[in-house]
Structure 1
Amino acid sequence: MKASIASLYESVELVQPIRPLIIGERCNANGSKRFREALLDDDYDTCLTIAREQEAVGAHVIDLCTAYAGRDEMKDMEILIPTYSSSLKPPLMIDSTTPAVIERALQIYPGRCIINSVNLEDGGVNIYKVLKLVKKYGAAVVALTIDEKGMAMTTADKIGIAKRIHTIAVDEMGLRPQDILFDPLTFTIGAGDETLRDAAIQTLEAIKGIKKELPGCLTILGLSNISFGLSPVSRKILNAVFLHEALEYGLDSCIIDAAKMMPLASIPEEDREICMDLLFDRVKNPEKSPLLTFIDYFSTAAEAKDDGEEQKWKPIETQLYDKIVTGNKDDLEDILDMLLQRRSPLGIINEILVPGMRHVGELFGKGEILLPFVLQSAEAMKASVRFLEPLMEKSDESEKLKILLATVQGDVHDIGKNLVDIILSNNGYMVYNIGIKVPAETIIQKAREYNVDIIGLSGLLVKSAMVMAESLPQYEEAGLNVPIFLGGAALTRKFVAQSCVPAYTSPVVYNQDAFDALKKVRDFEAGTLKATEWVAASDVKEVKPGLKDGNVLRDNPVPEAPFLGDRIIRDIDLEEVLSLINKQALFRGRWGYRRGKMTAQEYEDLIKTKVEPLYEDFRNQFLNEGLIDAKAAYGYFPCESRENSLVMSHKGKEYDYAFPRQGEAPFLCLSDYYKNADEGGDVAGLFVVTIGEEVSKRTAELYAADEYHDYLMLHAFSVEVTDALAEYWHKRMRRELGIASSEPENIHGYVTQQYQGSRYGFGYPSCPDISAHGLLFDMLKPDRIGISLTENYEMVPEQSTSALVAHHPQAKYFAV
């Protein structure tokens, strides 16, 4: 099974299809001055901004380290982890060596993360403590090649320490090899230390040796250490060449500032050669070491090249081609103006721009360029085409291959589809991107209207894969005879081949990603496109239903419910509800009042003079103007777990709630938190709460009157009030169940779930099937308090929410 980690929003494989796994390093109090200063100033908004910047430039994972002298590492983690987990798509790497901090981080992070790190520096005392937590919470872990003597210098020592750790982690603690990332460590070759001249070689050989000697285990490096002490320009280039070599030797992941990565293809051959001489200690001049040669070279030639001087003598066509390959938009319009004096707009696109993007795709396929740089190239391509389009003849557009893209009905996700749009449109194809939640009838209509050559369907949800399969006969009956490309996270080659291909006469083709789609489009142009086939030998083992890790306690007492069945409550203490509003989430997240570049005092003054008065104004409106009509439908029901299902009983009927199980340790499923029939059964809580529809009417009036500020502020406030109502009702149910002996002292305690049990909203990661609302509505009858369901199981009014309540002491948020 492929090892993955996960955030609330996405799962990330530890071994990427195009290595490496990029771990953003800038959220580290010891390695980033900007992050450290923000942390010391309690400026958590800037800490989040730095993480978002790493996400924006392509980091797959965000490393988070808050350990710094004078700081409370635990407190900072408790603040930043909920903030990061709710705001960032990439999963986290928890960078700490303190077991208590690591355990707290694992408890409050609603996903599967990497722990960084363990070693044998103390002879093995701490490693057992940390690995026990890694096993308990199902995390992955980084292992450093450090023992009682210090950091390993030679290949043999690095591999030897890795084997010792492997014995402890795999043989003694029961971890899977694929969940261990060994860091053989690298020392700088830029400081002039003669004993470190072969440091790069020792590290590269250690990577190869670890992969060979410890099958299944992964490797990782803090990449930029290799160039410490060198000039910024030369460091960037040396890091890129070293990364390429490390990948050749088997490196799986690297910790690096993703914004400073550069594609190998953008580095001139002479620069690469100088770097290789330094990395492999190749002495070409007996009177000059490779390091001195490197420093002299980059103090002159490289700086000149960095200024773009080397471009001036190149033909103008080559200059534009290079701009596309390197993603450089500087002086684009000037170059295009010069080219227009001797070439047509269509000629420039077909003969220079498209070949440039094709070369980018080839480099990506060979692993010499990473996705962030592909997107930079696409931006340069888009800017060029945008400049040329007004000068093109209409007939030029009609000659392009036409492709229709849509996210299928019921699915609102469009990131993958939009990336396909970017890649295809910037390779010279005409793309009609018709949006999200598109029914089959509209796809048929638009395919005919635009006379397209290919249809591409996208969807993230499991349900979307079924929608694709079920809609194919409609396309067949409508007489469409163009290839249909299918892509999305829930799709597999096997599903497409076995469930989709037979339902449509023309080729139905599985697309792994945007670049695979580009390849398939070119296959279509060449007349070699075929429907997807399935070879059974490539089948992947799946997690068996009911598989459990055994970490969920089975002897916990079942509390006595105050009643069994359902009830309606209309008399709710509004003051107590509003007291549970998360002001930080409201002020910073929903309202957008972030500190930014303000000093701590300036930001405090802003909150006091503007934001708090605004908050009080809306609070008074809700209390005094009838904007909130809080109601609840809730109940307690006998239940029992049956493998991956929770079966509740109510009025003589059984209601089967099915949940997914994690594909990685600890293989959690919501049903694990409830006892089965042999254990005597259990009790489950359900609730639906709403603040009514008056606030929706008021926001509609504000929007119609063009009062957009108040419209946005009021809508955000109403969403936060709904969350507070859910928090209040869950608190009340804990009291009724007799499990409220230890309750949070402040809002932060509620955010980090410092209470027994948990509540799980339908449509969220641990119970993603929103159609379960159908069962819940049949049991609680929330239409009695004015809540209804749409055909897609969304609740109306918008300011309504539901939850399944678990009393188990280990129940916390987790992602599947």
Structure 2
Amino acid sequence: MIGMSGLLVKSTVIMKENLQELNQRKLAADYPVILGGAALTRAYVEQDLHEIYEGEVRYARDAFEGLRLMDALMGVKRGVPGVVLPELKQRRVPRRTGVSAAGAAGAAVEIEDIPERGSVRSDVSVDNPVPTPPFWGTRVVKGIPLKDYASWLDEGALFKGQWGLKQARSGPTYEELVETDGRPRLRGLLDKLHTENLLEAAVVYGYFPCVSKGDDLILLDERGNERTRFTFPRQRRGRRLCLADFFRPEESGERDVVGLQVVTVGSRIGEATARLFASDSYREYLELHGLSVQLAEALAEYWHARVRAELGFGGEDPARVEDMFDLKYRGARFSLGYGACPDLEDRAKIADLLQPERIGVHLSEEFQLHPEQSTDAIVIHHPEAKYFNAR
């Protein structure tokens, strides 16, 4: 039995390739596959991937569903009476008038009318004020103190998501565990990171003039010539959103501004977690690794707030940091590989513009950022910009 989990949209492509490789090696019949993770949906696994895989492939929403599936798969294999696999999700027939291959034999099929790329712009407003950045081009900031961004740490994501802190059936509440276990451990680790100088927080960021054209965001040089171009996917239903819609269209004759940023907490903390893993100190490894990932995210949030302030609307931010995690501020920070901008190849364009090697961040051949505890983002100032999935 094989299990795969994917966080980024790119993961879905790799999973499909892995299933095809198992088919090619004639191993599919011997290896049931369970897939899960934030990048996947049940429909994609149990419809699209089920159609191409020659063995059994199932979707698990979480670890508990994965365990139930493994029990069922083993029960069916052993012939346990009464054990059956849950039914697969049935494919919904979309609505659109047309004739498919089946229709050629006389069966009319309705399919959703989906416009061609760039043919329909969403209803996002195009008359919002365009802020003036404090500079054009890029800047590097190094040596950011831990105290400046530690307050932006999302404790819920750390305690629940990374450390697995949760209430037992007859034990203390989650809130009590946070006070007696989570926060004391967090304070101890933050002290360790500070005293052992394991963090090298740094940022490279910049502002670029731009316009949009259909599904494309075009960054311009100082003379107004095209410098680079991002092509983003557009939703095929609903508002038909596309990231390009949040910028002034080329035909308006106006220029907009886009922010780009790459942040990192450095390589030392990754080296420290690797030493813990090599010494079989798995709990300490998981705790420190989880904290390092969330600190990189905290640094990204902190710098996004700095960008909002530099663009002149930081005063609209909520007073409580906790409300920041609910995106109660203007604009949004979109990282490559996620729903609205899933193509990791676009990282090469950001790297060309920002030159993140100046802060010790490098791009691999697979378009992954190294050190691992690094993030990139396209920063959009438009007040309607919020997270969405385009595919």
TM-score (norm 2): 0.74
Partner of 2:135: 563
Structure 1 position 577 matched with structure 2 position 149:
yes
1:749 is aligned, of 313, 318, 323, to: 323
- Following the alignment from structure 1 to structure 2, what is the Cα–Cα distance between the partners of residues 414 and 808? 31
SS in structure 2 of the partner of residue 640 of structure 1: strand
Partner of 2:206: 635
- Following the alignment from structure 1 to structure 2, what is the Cα–Cα distance between the partners of residues 411 and 804? 18
TM-aligned CA deviation for residue 536 of structure 1: 8.4
Alignment of 1:272-671 (within 5 A): 412-413=11-12, 437=18, 446-447=25-26, 489=44, 512=48, 514=50, 541-548=113-120, 551-598=123-170, 603-650=174-221, 653-671=226-244
Partner of 1:693: 267
Question: What is the aligned-residue identity percentage?
Answer: 34
Q: How many residues align structurally?
A: 328
TM-aligned CA deviation for residue 573 of structure 1: 3.4
Contact kept? 1:416, 1:458, Cα under 8 Å: no
Contact kept? 2:134, 2:310, Cα under 8 Å: yes
Aligned amino acid, residue 192 of structure 2: Q
SS in structure 1 of the partner of residue 287 of structure 2: helix
- Following the alignment from structure 1 to structure 2, what is the Cα–Cα distance between the partners of residues 457 and 645? 37
Structure 2 CA distance for partners of 1:566 and 1:749, relative to 1, 3 Å: same
Contact kept? 1:637, 1:683, Cα under 8 Å: yes
**Per-residue Cα deviation, 1:785-804 (whole angstroms, up to 9, x for no partner):** 11111211111111000000
- Following the alignment from structure 1 to structure 2, what is the Cα–Cα distance between the partners of residues 786 and 757? 28
- Following the alignment from structure 1 to structure 2, what is the Cα–Cα distance between the partners of residues 629 and 405? 35
SS in structure 2 of the partner of residue 561 of structure 1: coil
- Following the alignment from structure 2 to structure 1, what is the Cα–Cα distance between the partners of residues 29 and 194? 58
Q: Which runs of 5+ in 1 are unaligned?
A: 1-381, 383-403, 418-435, 461-487, 491-510, 520-532
Contact kept? 1:565, 1:650, Cα under 8 Å: no
Structure 2 CA distance for partners of 1:792 and 1:535, relative to 1, 3 Å: farther
Partner of 2:351: 777
SS in structure 2 of the partner of residue 741 of structure 1: helix
1:809 is aligned, of 345, 370, 383, to: 383
**Per-residue Cα deviation, 1:718-777 (whole angstroms, up to 9, x for no partner):** 011011000011001111111112112223211111111111011000111111001100
- Following the alignment from structure 2 to structure 1, what is the Cα–Cα distance between the partners of residues 227 and 102? 41
Structure 2 CA distance for partners of 1:456 and 1:547, relative to 1, 3 Å: farther
Partner of 1:788: 362
Aligned amino acid, residue 666 of structure 1: R
Q: Cα RMSD (Å) of the superposition? A: 3.7
Partner of 1:721: 295
TM-aligned CA deviation for residue 663 of structure 1: 1.1
Contact kept? 2:3, 2:35, Cα under 8 Å: no
**Per-residue Cα deviation, 1:456-500 (whole angstroms, up to 9, x for no partner):** 99999xxxxxxxxxxxxxxxxxxxxxxxxxxx949xxxxxxxxxx
SS in structure 1 of the partner of residue 234 of structure 2: coil
Contact kept? 1:757, 1:806, Cα under 8 Å: yes
- Following the alignment from structure 2 to structure 1, what is the Cα–Cα distance between the partners of residues 181 and 19? 43
Contact kept? 2:20, 2:53, Cα under 8 Å: no
Aligned amino acid, residue 244 of structure 2: S
TM-aligned CA deviation for residue 596 of structure 1: 3.6
Contact kept? 2:138, 2:354, Cα under 8 Å: yes
Structure 2 CA distance for partners of 1:644 and 1:454, relative to 1, 3 Å: farther
**Per-residue Cα deviation, 1:591-642 (whole angstroms, up to 9, x for no partner):** 111124356x654443223221110011112222111101111110010011
Structure 2 CA distance for partners of 1:692 and 1:514, relative to 1, 3 Å: same
- Following the alignment from structure 2 to structure 1, what is the Cα–Cα distance between the partners of residues 307 and 51? 50
Partner of 1:56: none
Larger Rg: 1
Structure 2 CA distance for partners of 1:813 and 1:683, relative to 1, 3 Å: same
- Following the alignment from structure 1 to structure 2, what is the Cα–Cα distance between the partners of residues 536 and 634? 54
Contact kept? 1:634, 1:687, Cα under 8 Å: yes
TM-aligned CA deviation for residue 678 of structure 1: 2.5
SS in structure 2 of the partner of residue 593 of structure 1: coil
Structure 2 CA distance for partners of 1:439 and 1:687, relative to 1, 3 Å: farther
TM-aligned CA deviation for residue 514 of structure 1: 3.5
- Following the alignment from structure 2 to structure 1, what is the Cα–Cα distance between the partners of residues 116 and 373? 38
Aligned amino acid, residue 555 of structure 1: D
In terms of fraction of residues, the more helix-rich structure is 1
**Per-residue Cα deviation, 1:278-304 (whole angstroms, up to 9, x for no partner):** xxxxxxxxxxxxxxxxxxxxxxxxxxx
TM-aligned CA deviation for residue 554 of structure 1: 1.4
- Following the alignment from structure 2 to structure 1, what is the Cα–Cα distance between the partners of residues 180 and 29? 59
- Following the alignment from structure 1 to structure 2, what is the Cα–Cα distance between the partners of residues 604 and 454? 45
Partner of 1:737: 311
Contact kept? 2:29, 2:54, Cα under 8 Å: no
TM-score (norm 1): 0.37
- Following the alignment from structure 2 to structure 1, what is the Cα–Cα distance between the partners of residues 117 and 221? 26
Structure 2 CA distance for partners of 1:456 and 1:639, relative to 1, 3 Å: farther
SS in structure 1 of the partner of residue 261 of structure 2: strand
